[in-house]
Amino acid sequence: MSYPIPQAPAQAEIEIKKSRFIGLAKHIASREAGMQWLAEVKATYPDARHHCWAYLLGNPTCATNAGMGDDGEPSGTAGKPILNVLQHKGIGDIMLIVVRYFGGIKLGAGGLTRAYGQAAQAVMSILPIQTFIPMKNLVIRCDYAQEQSVRHWVALAQGSVLTVDYQAPLSMLVSIPETELNALTQHLQALANLCWKET
């Protein structure tokens, strides 16, 4: 099932009572990738007081994994409002970090929750998105004379040919959208001397 994901990183900054809140968002493919990016952000802003974060992996309507961190702010005042913004925006495979430079004026729990939510909203409002389409790989073995027919059906399925091995029998590694798998295999069944398997 396809769903929206970040197309490119985005950054936005707001100031509330002299505290600077820098929101950063980008695509991540795993928790490990997110933690690596968090370490990079901490290295980029080493003098910031807090580096709070949240992420959402997989289809946002039924996320496979989610996480958040308050990084020293009172529990529930930073990571949770950031995650709430992610969940309401309906974008998957995303991490959002809000870097805070303390301005000397305490905001209180409610003020912090609103500030982190606003910083998250600010960066999400400018985040470019694209549609993620789950793909399946197939290895197709066929006669040389069938290569163009197979290429034609793969193209119609909005897929692509990744590699071709021209040793007999010819072997093609193709990638197609999961939603087109049944239709493509039905077309392939109509061709003689041809076999395929998912990888």
Residue 5: pLDDT over 80: yes
Structural domains in the chain, CATH included, are: 3-131 (3.30.230.30), 134-198 (3.30.70.240)
Question: Can you point out the beta strands (E) in 31-169?
Answer: 50-57, 65-69, 94-101, 129-132, 135-142, 160-165
| pLDDT tens digits for range 81-98 | 999 999 999 899 999 999
| pLDDT tens digits for range 10-23 | 999 999 899 899 99
Query: Do 119 and 22 meet the contact criterion of CB atoms below 8 Å apart?
Result: yes
Sign of CA dihedral 36, 43, 100, 13: negative
Q: What is the pLDDT of residue 158?
A: 86
